Amino acid sequence: MNAALPTSAKASVAFQHRHAAHCESGAISTLVSHAGLPLSEAMAFGLSGALAFAYLPFVKLQGLPLIAYRMPPRAIIRGLAKPLGLKLSFETFRRPEAGQARLDQLLDAGEVVGLQTSVFWLSYFPEDMRFHFNGHNLLVIGREGDDYLISDPVFETPQRCSRADLARARFAKGLLAPKGLLYRVLGVERDGVDPQAVLAAIRRTARAMLAPVPIVGVRAIGLLAKRIAALDPQAPASAAFVGHVVRMQEEIGTGGAGFRFLYAAFLQEAAELCDKPLLAEFSARLLTIGDHWRVFALRAARMLKGREVFDPAALAVLLREQAEREAAFFRDLRGAL
């Protein structure tokens, strides 16, 4: 039986902006909550199996390799469809005018709409955070004159963005071009999160992190360590590479621990939901692993700032330890379920 809420009922619920650590888990959890199923950001992140590590030397961002601490964009949104019984709608557009018209139409009907955008063209972002990254997610909650009212999960309060700027951000070209993507939750079939789905998601993440592939999971952390160990401490490009690794973790990631803290929050919630107190212990252990990521970032930053001798080999040792810690963690986690 489909218990989807009709649009008019959705529109009558006041929208609640939420500040999140990550844009995609923040946007979709807020959207699902607005559609009638209360969902935390951490649950959205964990249930979709979004935690990951990937080192992709052949995908270049401004000439530097992609280092991801989570699954690729849209994986969180799509990953929630099955476990929550979501009816989702995705629309992309060839012509910006068509995309704008459709957005206006949905907003005028009282809908809340999720968008994938570039960060660079969003004028409300601080200047120094505006890079050409096309995987940003935000919610549009209405419009006023020539401005859109935006619930951007990364910001504490709702923002405003002009029509022209938002159109540019939605139709930016390049890697992960959003093509005006707008998404909505049309309905939610379940009235809560299924504990079995949570446990299945944890198993899936553990399996992916332990995958026998060199560029994903804990092995990729080891591979990155190797790459860093081989850097020439004298070459200027080496410092740029290390800075990039840390920036992927801090700026593009959720800060401090590359999503480990967020997953720890999920495990804590899962412990209660699934009545498995053991998961709370794993949650605490992952917090510690996250703290070690912070130590790595701090060491690297000190070296880049010249407060400590630039020593890529020492950073590689820290990373290798991280790979071992995470390998043991996910093996134990998988064994415990």
Tell me the two tokens of residue 155. Answer: 């910001």
Residue range at the interface with other proteins (CB under 8 A); choices 50-58, 65-73, 212-220, 300-308: 300-308
Q: Is 314 in the site for other proteins (CB under 8 A)?
A: no
- Best CA proximity match to 255, nearest among 16, 21, 14, 35: 21
CA distances from residue 265 to 21, 40, 101, 260 in whole angstroms, order as listed? 12, 10, 39, 9
Residue from the set 202, 265, 316, 323 that interacts with other proteins by CB under 8 A = 265
Phi, psi of 15 (to 5 degrees): -75, 135
What SS3 class is residue 279? helix
Least distance in Å: CB of 204 to other proteins?
21
In whole angstroms, give the CA distance from residue 65 to residue 28.
28
Q: Is 120 in the site for other proteins (CB under 8 A)?
A: yes
Q: Is 243 in the site for other proteins (CB under 8 A)?
A: yes
Residue range at the interface with other proteins (CB under 8 A); choices 105-113, 119-127, 139-147, 188-196: 119-127
Q: Is 52 in the site for other proteins (CB under 8 A)?
A: no
Q: Is 291 in the site for other proteins (CB under 8 A)?
A: yes
Residue range at the interface with other proteins (CB under 8 A); choices 79-87, 198-206, 290-298, 317-325: 290-298
Least distance in Å: CB of 45 to other proteins?
10
Residue from the set 6, 58, 305, 309 that interacts with other proteins by CB under 8 A = 305
Q: Is 97 in the site for other proteins (CB under 8 A)?
A: no
Residues 166-185 that bind other proteins (CB under 8 A): 168, 172-174, 177
Residue from the set 97, 144, 156, 232 that interacts with other proteins by CB under 8 A = 156
CA distances from residue 100 to 53, 92, 106, 124 in whole angstroms, order as listed? 35, 11, 10, 19
- Best CA proximity match to 213, nearest among 56, 322, 107: 56
3-state helix, strand, coil in the chain (%, to 5): 50, 15, 35
Q: At what angle do helices 195-209 and 217-229 cross, to 10 degrees?
A: 30
Q: Is 304 in the site for other proteins (CB under 8 A)?
A: yes
Residue by residue, DSSP assigns 120-161 as: TT-TTS-GGG------EEEEEEEEETTEEEEE-TTSSS-EEE
DSSP 8-state secondary structure symbol assigned to residue 193: -
Q: Is 322 in the site for other proteins (CB under 8 A)?
A: no
Q: Is 94 in the site for other proteins (CB under 8 A)?
A: no
Binding site for other proteins (CB under 8 A): 19-21, 41-42, 60, 62-63, 120-121, 126-132, 154-156, 168, 172-174, 177, 239-240, 243-244, 246-247, 250-251, 254-257, 261-262, 264-265, 268, 283, 287, 290-291, 294, 297-298, 300-301, 304-305
